[in-house]
Structure 1
């Protein structure tokens, strides 16, 4: 008889700890961009956009920064075959600060492709914010703002849950 092994889910960060990490990142963003009037927070669809939305709320409560929230939509499984679109109309003009937000930075592939639309503009700054950095770089992308650095094996999966009541947090499978 073959034994079926069910992957266990271990909580790495609780809801409170995850919120503390996001709040700290918002303060860091403000500290590094305090002279700006506006920043664009471009969240990758799913948990990345929810992360960007929460950063925007916190930034508006702690600073005079105006935030423009944009949701980036593309196929994360085949980003090289997918066109990146924005759900909201975002005007990318020269001299702006753009922060691309995602939940987990693993190999850097998703974020490398997510940066493409911004490279066509003369931005003032292009920064990256992630909740969890797994340190498995295959692409030359690093995060400017990291909530939690976690060394894992390639077989392990990190899941960030931001929009399910009672389940929110960071999990390792």
Structure 2
């Protein structure tokens, strides 16, 4: 059993003041050439969380469209946050590519993917038993609704990619 009295450094995502965090897109961390984006779709701790159905459905759609879009070869991971307020997107930054250029490319690709999700017809990708561990928990309508909401957030104001308030780490 781990020693619960042992002091360990707080991870960076816990240093972000979640009570001040608003929906948008943020750079969460940079590890070498891997950049993690916080795709914040809901205000944390406000009681408005994505349902498991909506989150799972959007995960399938967003991963599919981000990996097949303009940044496809750079996308490492797209996955949900356990708190059900957003997703993480990890992309590989090209050698020599500046941060502003990467951020603009990510935002453009994300907007494109969200628009593609809202226009999608047919089944949710990966909606078969052999492709997904919870294949019955998928809804195209739920994914579309979440994509529309988040696209409206991204279009409502300029995105700075910077957390507004961040506490000092331990």
Larger % of helix: which? 2
- TM-score range (shorter-chain normalised) is under 0.3
Q: What's the TM-score, normalizing by structure 1?
A: 0.25
Which structure is richer in relative contact order (CA contacts within 8 A, separation 6 or more)?
2
Q: What's the TM-score, normalizing by structure 2?
A: 0.26
Larger % of strand: which? 1
